[in-house]
Amino acid sequence: MNILDIIEKKEKKLELTKSELEFVINGYLNESIPDYQMSALLMAILLNGMTEKETVSLTEIMLNSGDKITFDFNVVDKHSTGGVGDKTTLVLIPLVASLGTKVAKMGGRGLGHTGGTIDKLESIAGFNTEITIEELKQEVEEIGASIAGQTGNLCPADKKIYALRDVTGTVASIPLIASSIMSKKLASGASNIVIDLKVGEGALMNNIDDARELANIMIKIGKAFGKNVICVLTNMNQPLGYAIGNALEVREAIDTLNGKGPKDLEELVINLASLMISLDQNVPMEILIESVENALKNGLGFEKFKEIVSYQGGDISNIPVATNIIEIKAEKSGYVKNISALKIGELARRLGAGRLSKTDEIDYTVGIVLTKKVGDEVNAGETIAKVYTNKVLIPEKDVSECFEITDFKVDKPKLIYEIIK
């Protein structure tokens, strides 16, 4: 068996066997297969796809390439495919845990125009995201939830392959995305998994058909490993909520946990929480919605958030944001027709809220806060956004150009497209 034959086989759109995939993955890990040959195979997969059988095999191989977490009780996990202003995890995990469902969440850092949960949490003074597997398990057992960075040696094959995909233009392969997400979720020990699959300009999946295809293969992978997976397709054509930037998003998450959050974020969190608890407790999600809404309004979720933060060494009384604030004014009256999530995310990154490479230092205090959303009426000269900045200045027109304002009334966009089980 050799790598050239395997590359040529995939170039001919033929199905690779599990042993061939094991040969490739193990060879790449032990460096007997170099980057340039692995890149060639990844490109062939991007162009020619993989069968369901191949995708399940690849997931299993990456899952078994490192450590796996096991729990003595059922836990639920949530994953987001990434978006702009997506602070959902910060609200969702404590909310679900406050209602008796245990949640173990390992988040990632932001790269590109999308933010990362771990960066957001590290804007809280003292919050420790670098905990061990044993510490994570103990926290979940004692208080019902933990939010940490990727810990231990989970799925090293995926980590190495993803880094290569990121620099070879092979990220947008649905089988590779599915196996990457699911290998990590399976290694994290979750019994049930809810995936917030973002769709739109600011997301990895730009159209609904690709999102459905990705959802269906992840659900099939879950079934192959005896796990329940539900995918929720959600709108990422405009930022979620109003705040974009680490500390700004934490503050908005805290507002939401106190019943004062943006309506779109509240809607998403209530639906995701109801699904997560329904999987754990085997109860229809519709029955749970009222309990979830009450936990959001009466501060039950916020109390659990404070418990998680305290357990991991954080202090929510100290979440500083930049004090240099520039107000962006509307150039005309009308209705907001579109807000480019992609452009807003890129501007926040330019301010220092995100990274151009994984080694970049970020500024937790900067970002952009919208004051208008799609469908809102606006008057000329009215503030449509506020830029929180320190060292980096961006032209005001770059922000205002993210907003499209029309003369005609615009309906509020649908947030949740569909739920796939």
Which residues form the catalytic set? 79, 158, 165, 180, 184
The DSSP H or E segment spanning 418 is strand 416-420
- Please give the order of strands across the beta sheet that includes 103-107: 145-149, 103-107, 76-80, 192-199, 228-235, 416-420
From CA 244, how far away is CA 86, in angstroms rounded?
A: 8
Structure tokens at 211: 């999102």
- On whether the CB atoms of residues 372 and 391 are closer than 8 A, the answer is no
Fill in the DSSP letter of residue 349. I
- On whether the CB atoms of residues 241 and 364 are closer than 8 A, the answer is no
The DSSP H or E segment spanning 269 is helix 263-281
- On whether the CB atoms of residues 308 and 143 are closer than 8 A, the answer is yes
From CA 385, how far away is CA 30, in angstroms rounded?
A: 50
What b/e string do you get for 152-168 counting C-beta neighbours within 10 Å, with b at 16 or more? bebbebbbbbbeebeeb
